[in-house]
Amino acid sequence: MPTQFIEQREVPTADLKPHPDNPNRGSVDDLAISLEEFGQYRSIVALTDGTILAGHHLVEAAKRLKIPTMRVDFVECDDRTARKILLADNRLADLGLGPSLDLLLKNLSELDGDIIGTGFDDDYISMLEEAVSGPPEIDDMFEEAEETPAKPEDFHRRLTILLDPRFITRWEAIRKMYDTDNQAFASLLGEDDIPPLDEDDDDDDEVDVSAFGSETDDE
């Protein structure tokens, strides 16, 4: 059943009472700041007996600030509809993709730091700026990376092998004779330098093309 609008009226804040089953948990602190900054820019929605359907925490904030009256849109509806409005009031705002980050930042930026009452803070704006700003310039990243440049040996691979301890002693003796691990290891192989790898990409081998796609079993 749709609601029926009765009237809009300024009423004593104390006359407004929360719905006993209101599940929503708003931030009264933030709403109080907003109320101080902007005043009441949106009406409370309540049944004619003063039971709030939308705007619970704004009323709570007003009571905390000792604001004597509030503007209320009074409506009439059955209990079931009242309960559905109670649920919809917060839930519907949560659905969808949320705000456009670009437009959110644009609006916040145009306030030049005067963001009191919006519910946003400087940390949030920094996070937004990071999300919206796009990637850093390659030149900047490279310049920063140049402060700790990579050395050729950074790209060598580590070899871990399990040996009889006597080999370790021998290796350490050989290692002392050379400037680098590579030179010492090459000497063990009887080479002056790093030997080339054997060619193992043998394209003369026959390829069984009938095997392609031959397995239909997923396992």
Q: Please report whether residue 139 would count as binding another protein according to CB under 8 A.
A: yes
Q: Please report whether residue 131 would count as binding another protein according to CB under 8 A.
A: yes
Q: How many Å from the N-terminal Cα to the C-terminal Cα in the chain?
A: 56
Contacts of 42 (CB under 8 A, 6+ apart): 55, 58
Contacts of 6 (CB under 8 A, 6+ apart): 48, 74, 75, 76
Stretch that binds another protein, among 37-45, 68-76, 90-98, 170-178 (CB under 8 A): 90-98
* Residue whose pair of structure tokens reads 């790209």 in the numeric block: 155
- Closest contact distance (angstroms) between CB of 158 and another protein is 5
- Closest contact distance (angstroms) between CB of 210 and another protein is 10
- Closest contact distance (angstroms) between CB of 17 and another protein is 28
Q: Which is nearer to another protein, 79 or 202 (CB)?
A: 202
Q: Please report whether residue 95 would count as binding another protein according to CB under 8 A.
A: yes
SS3 213: coil
- Closest contact distance (angstroms) between CB of 14 and another protein is 33
Q: Which is nearer to another protein, 112 or 147 (CB)?
A: 147
- Closest contact distance (angstroms) between CB of 204 and another protein is 8
Beta sheet of 69-76, edge-to-edge order: 4-12, 69-76, 44-47, 52-54
Residue 54: which of 34, 73, 28 has the closest Cα? 73
Q: Per DSSP, what are the bridge partners of residue 4?
A: 76
- Cα 101 to its chain centre, rounded Å, is 12
* CB half-sphere exposure, 147, CA atoms < 13 A: 5
Q: Which is nearer to another protein, 141 or 168 (CB)?
A: 141
Task: Kindly tell me which residue out of 66, 80, 157, 176 binds another protein, with binding defined by CB under 8 A.
Answer: 157
Q: Please report whether residue 136 would count as binding another protein according to CB under 8 A.
A: yes
Q: Please report whether residue 155 would count as binding another protein according to CB under 8 A.
A: yes
d(CA 66, CA 36): 11
d(CA 138, CA 55): 49
User: What x-and-dash track marks residues 175-214 binding another protein by CB under 8 A?
Assistant: ----------------------x--xxxx-x-x-x-xxxx
Residue ranges in contact with another protein by CB under 8 A:
94-95, 97-98, 127, 131, 134-136, 138-139, 141-142, 145-146, 148-152, 154-155, 157-158, 197, 200-203, 205, 207, 209, 211-216, 218
